[in-house]
Amino acid sequence: MAADLRSVTVLIPGRLHEQSVRRIGETFRLVAIDTIDAALLTDEMKATVRGIAASPAIAGGLVGPDFMRALPKLEIVANFGVGYDGVDARHAGANGIMVTNTPDVLTEEVADTALGLLIATVRELPKAEAWLRAGNWAAKGNFRLSPLSLRGRKVGIFGMGRIGMAIARRLEAFGLSVAYHNRRPVDGLAYAYHATLKGLAEAVDTLISVVPGTPQTAKAVNAEILKALGSDGVFVNIGRGSTVDESALAAALADGTIAAAGLDVFADEPNVPPALLDAPNTVLLPHIGSASVHTRRAMADLVVDNLIAWFSDGKAITPVPETAGIGHNR
């Protein structure tokens, strides 16, 4: 089997986790280009590449129709990350190309980050640490009492998937009530369901967004939703920056429409809007939801395991919904 896999050409466009790169190089015939750009593909690549391993979020570009069409032997795109908005999965599915992502292995890590971000935002932990480090505790006395508390909060989760449910379990352990909004209710889930995002925002004072970046979720958290959340409201985004109208969020933070926000993701990473950077009632992180050595290594392994499973057994381990019905037919 090893000899068979060594004859399979896998392309890495742009940067990818070193664990994935090492294992692909040991298992397959690896070729690489600097970015996701069809113009960089050689004739030899076009004739031989059967798999892609990519992290569009850090590589730049989109594994889209033009890029896939340039590789007529392409069978699978193994995406690094649970979010796969950097791959046109709908086009892939329509053309018999498998797309995989890396769910489950990062669920708990991202949920941990979401709770940490929520607590840091509500209790102003970064400001308190800065107060101590600046010598103000000794020179000026105790840091101020935090205006907000986690106690008694009602939390709404926008996107009750794997990560949303892991966050909900943690919130329950903190003694907080949980409600959610999805496109449809989750079977067997006891949390209160709201058919609209506005309805959820009106019913809670803390909104955690976990949804992926899709055309349907683009700027879903807008001025109307933030107003519904209210002046005691706290917004946390651990999903995708594209799901938020960042101008509306900055305005809501500035005029007291909501109380605070904790953000790990942004619409144009790594560029953060100055209005959010300048807002004193924000806690901002550089997209570190799953960024531990342990979890990123597990994600990297799953990328390669999907490639091995596909080319060995004709089945992917974690296909995305758009390509779940595709079988190995080449």
The catalytic residue among 26, 44, 129, 269 is 269
Query: Is the CB of residue 75 less than 8 Å from the CB of residue 60?
Result: no
- d(CA 125, CA 142) in angstroms, rounded, equals 13
Fold of the domain built from segment(s) 2-103+293-323: Rossmann fold (3.40.50)
Catalytic residue at 162? Answer: no
Residues 264-284: pLDDT tens digits?
Answer: 999 999 999 999 999 999 999
Residues 126-172: pLDDT tens digits?
Answer: 999 999 999 999 999 999 999 999 999 999 999 999 999 999 999 99
83 or 58, which is more confident: 83
CATH architecture under which domain 107-284 falls: 3-Layer(aba) Sandwich (3.40)
Q: Is the pLDDT of residue 237 over 60?
A: yes
Residue 183 confidence (pLDDT): 93
Residue from 208, 202, 147, 146 nearest 176 by CA: 208
Average pLDDT in the 64-84 region?
Answer: 96
pLDDT category at 1 given cuts 50, 70, 90 is very low
The catalytic residue among 50, 153, 194, 240 is 240
Q: Is the pLDDT of residue 330 over 60?
A: no
* Token representation of residue 130: 């800065």
- d(CA 65, CA 89) in angstroms, rounded, equals 9
Residue 3 confidence (pLDDT): 47
* Token representation of residue 53: 């391993």
Query: Is the CB of residue 7 less than 8 Å from the CB of residue 50?
Result: no
Query: Is the CB of residue 225 less than 8 Å from the CB of residue 204?
Result: no
Residue 61 confidence (pLDDT): 81
Question: Which residues make up the CATH 3.40.50.720 domain(s) of the chain?
Answer: 2-103+293-323, 107-284
CA contacts within 13 A on the Cβ side of 37 = 9
pLDDT category at 329 given cuts 50, 70, 90 is low
Catalytic residue at 181? Answer: no
Average pLDDT in the 82-95 region?
Answer: 94
Query: Is the CB of residue 256 less than 8 Å from the CB of residue 111?
Result: no
Catalytic residue at 294? Answer: no
- Which residue is associated with the tokens 């496109």? 183
Residue 60 confidence (pLDDT): 72
The catalytic residue among 50, 153, 194, 287 is 287
pTM, two decimal places: 0.90
